[in-house]
Amino acid sequence: GNSVTQMEGPVTLSEEAFLTINCTYTATGYPSLFWYVQYPGEGLQLLLKATKADDKGSNKGFEATYRKETTSFHLEKGSVQVSDSAVYFCALSDNAGNNRKLIWGLGTSLAVNP
């Protein structure tokens, strides 16, 4: 079945450091891929998404490229800020018609120190 694997945390960085959070997937067909972010005490919100191979999603300085050849969707940011401290979830959409569900990774906690 479909699955998502993302790197374990926690990840601790200093402000202005480069961030990579790895995400790989297993899926049949051509799923859409997502990164969601959960700030402390809040619900999840969409950070970025990509719907087909070689698409790049971007938002708030974060980027991720849909790589079908390596089945990956790694999240990157060139210079993190303290306000980026959150839990990041990678997910894929099973695209199964109207019962469309998301398959979730376990989340990666990021802490950015000033």
Partner 1 sequence: NAGVTQTPKFQVLKTGQSMTLQCAQDMNHNSMYWYRQDPGMGLRLIYYSASEGTTDKGEVPNGYNVSRLNKREFSLRLESAAPSQTSVYFCASRGLGGETQYFGPGTRLLVL
Q: Within its chain, how far is the Cα of 98 from the centroid?
A: 23
Residue 82, interface with partner 1 (CB under 8 A)?
A: no
What are 5's two structure tokens?
């694997």
Interface positions, 60-79, toward partner 1 (CB under 8 A): none
Burial code of 3-19, b = ≥16 C-beta within 10 A, e = fewer? Answer: ebebbeeebebeeeeeb
Whichever of 46 and 82 has its CB closer to partner 1, that residue is 46
- Alpha-carbon distances of 113 from 12, 81, 100, rounded to whole Å: 7, 8, 38
Residue 53, interface with partner 1 (CB under 8 A)?
A: no
Q: How far is the CB of 98 from partner 1 (least distance, A)?
A: 5
Q: Which stretch binds partner 1 (CB under 8 A): 14-22, 37-45, 57-65, 75-83?
A: 37-45
Q: In whole angstroms, what is the distance from residue 33 CA to residue 65 CA?
A: 9
Residue 57, interface with partner 1 (CB under 8 A)?
A: no
Amino acid present at 49:
K
Residue 107, interface with partner 1 (CB under 8 A)?
A: yes
Contact with partner 1 (CB under 8 A) among 3, 45, 59, 81 = 45
User: Which residues make up the interface to partner 1 (CB under 8 A)?
Assistant: 32, 34, 42-46, 49, 51, 89, 93, 95, 98-102, 104-107
